[in-house]
Amino acid sequence: MRRLIPLAVIPALLLPAAPASAHPTPPSGPTATGYGGAVASVDPTATAAGLKVLRDGGNAVDAAIAVAATLGVTEPFSSGIGGGGFFVYYDARTGRISTLDGRETAPRTMTETAFVDPATGAPYAFQEARVSGISAGIPGSLATWDTAARRWGTRPLSAALRPAADVARQGFTVDATFAQQVTDNAAAFSQFGPTAQLYLPGGAPPAAGSTLRNPDLAATYDLIARRGVGAFYGGEIGRDIVGAVQHPPVAASPARPWPYAIRPGGMTLDDLRAYDVRSPAPTHVGYRGYDVYGMATPSSGGSTVGEALNLLERSDLRKLDKVQSLHRYLEASALAFADRNRYVGDYTPRPLLDALLTDGYAAERACQIDPARAAAKPVAPGVPDGRYGRCASTSGGAAPDLGLSTTNLTVADKWGNIVEYTLTIEQIGGNGIVVPGRGFLLNNELTDFNFTPTQGTAPDPNLPGPGKRPRSSMAPTIVLQHGKPLLAVGSPGGSTIITTVLQILVNRLDLGMTLPEAIAAPRASQRNTATVTAEPAFIGSPEGQGLAALGHTYTPMAEIGAATGIEFLPHGKLLASAEPVRRGSGSAGTVR
């Protein structure tokens, strides 16, 4: 990659591999056990950066920010300072779990019809909405890192950014996943001069095995380290973000055709200045003696995972055969998604969110699960009104949003602090716009809003609005047992995040799998849709065939999710685990 120079087009820097001493030695695999702290992420360079912070005396928050910032370099199509996310923190000293909502917000000029073509009255095609300035929300990641560092870290944000700036400056090795993601986005990326110059050097994706530098991003991190986050939220970086949103840097002669107009967005510098990180109370459910904590709105992850666990608690999955256990997992997922789609959005009142997680409501909903056959989908939402009795019967439901992207990281330190953090720029490649001269992609998070009402005559909780945050499926989760940490886990994958985290919890807590086995197991996702989205290995398994006999039908998907997690074993031992195969495999390591 290269430093962008106005009106000049220079090939990206495809360089020999950096010297071995340039970065900490990456961990060697997706599973590690040991002591003194642990890190799991999708990328070995990012995991190594976090481990170095821990070895140098930093805590879990310091390390998590270093990992996240490094992922912004090496996994730029899934994360970065152009996006946002949800940060869940366990404080070992107090035993308290806190959360940070760093979700992107809509500009103050956004209306409910932002994604409706005024010329036709019809919603934009998804790619037309995505590859535009309209889709970019005010980014929250950098503000999240700054807030976390000030509240719980032991080092300033500038120190946590330094490892990532070094990686961007010195270069990193392109892997097959990175190269494929550029290939998949080549048409969108070629529409914008800065993006094509960075990711399509010479008009083609970088080759796997080549080394890429991003000096513009290194300089951006350096500037933030010197001047603080104000340079981003209102300063010179912010001006460049607003310029890219209001006037997308469209290439004069794109190398690949694009069938849609590229529309400007309405973000302003005042929108950036007004951004705030929220600190909502986590969601919480009890499950078979465990305490499961997750993320509140605008994420639907905590409430949907929690409601599904409450539904599953009505069955003793350990005494059922695996087909019946998975059948109930799929049916509980559909019921919870029906409620998620109906009730959960940025402005969901906390009493309503808590009502979805009550045992009485779960009992009323769980009685709809028929052990003998799968229900026709979509199933209807329930009525969490506090008056629960006989099995409720309603009709009609809505399909979920099905975005796919994001990344996840899990960190623990020697003091017992934990960070479970899911962050994203939405689609793989975000909205396709690299901010000129700054080296990072912008998000398309606002396409997580419903483009038009989906709930018939009922109020839709997820329509666009001024300053509103779109509903998310991110589900960073921490599980305690007897008040002590047992497990932390999260995943990317759009709305499949919820079912991925839920299935890992069921695998680990109910079905007797180890954490690495629970992460590696074939996945299936039922999000209140007519078919179950499932990996081929799940469909072809004996359990998959048994579920088909109960009426479940499948839509294949090559991969679902890319989870990371840490389990807390006796005597201070840590088990860190990431994907062994999905997304090219992940990376886990311990301090010693």
DSSP string, 138-182: BP-HHHHHHHHHHHH-SS-HHHHHHHHHHHHHH-EE--HHHHHHH
Tokens of 458: 């009922």
- Cβ(509)–Cβ(486) below 8 Å: no
Cis peptide before 194 (omega within 30 of 0): no
Tokens of 535: 């990996």
Strand partners, 299: 472
- Cβ(404)–Cβ(493) below 8 Å: yes
Question: Is 406 one of the catalytic residues?
Answer: yes
b (16+ CB within 10 A) / e for 418-427: bbbbbbbbbb
Task: Determine the distance from the C-alpha atom of residue 191 to the mean position of all C-alpha atoms in its chain, rounded to a whole number.
Answer: 26
Cα dist from 48 to 71, 148, 513, whole Å: 11, 20, 27
Longest CA–CA span in the chain (Å) reads 70
Helices assigned H by DSSP within 37-110? 44-55, 60-74
The half-sphere exposure of 362 on its side-chain side, counting CA atoms within 13 A, is: 22
Say which of 99, 297, 304, 406 is annotated catalytic. Answer: 406
Cα dist from 534 to 86, 250, 295, 414, 426, whole Å: 26, 38, 25, 38, 21
Closest-CA residue to 52 (of 413, 579, 566): 413
Closest-CA residue to 164 (of 28, 32, 43, 272): 43
Strand pairing category for 554-556 and 532-534: parallel
Closest-CA residue to 4 (of 234, 220, 228): 220
- Cβ(172)–Cβ(112) below 8 Å: no
Cis peptide before 156 (omega within 30 of 0): no
DSSP-derived letter for residue 231 is G
Tell me how far apart the alpha carbons of residues 199 and 189 are, in angstroms, rounded to a whole number.
8
Q: Which residue has the tokens 């950098």?
A: 142
Nearest-Å Rg of the Cα atoms of the chain is 23
- Cβ(27)–Cβ(588) below 8 Å: yes
b (16+ CB within 10 A) / e for 105-117: bbbbebebebbbe
Helices assigned H by DSSP within 185-260? 186-189, 193-199, 215-227, 236-246
Tokens of 555: 């839509």
Closest-CA residue to 491 (of 592, 417, 586, 590): 586
- Cβ(395)–Cβ(380) below 8 Å: yes
| Residues designated catalytic | 406
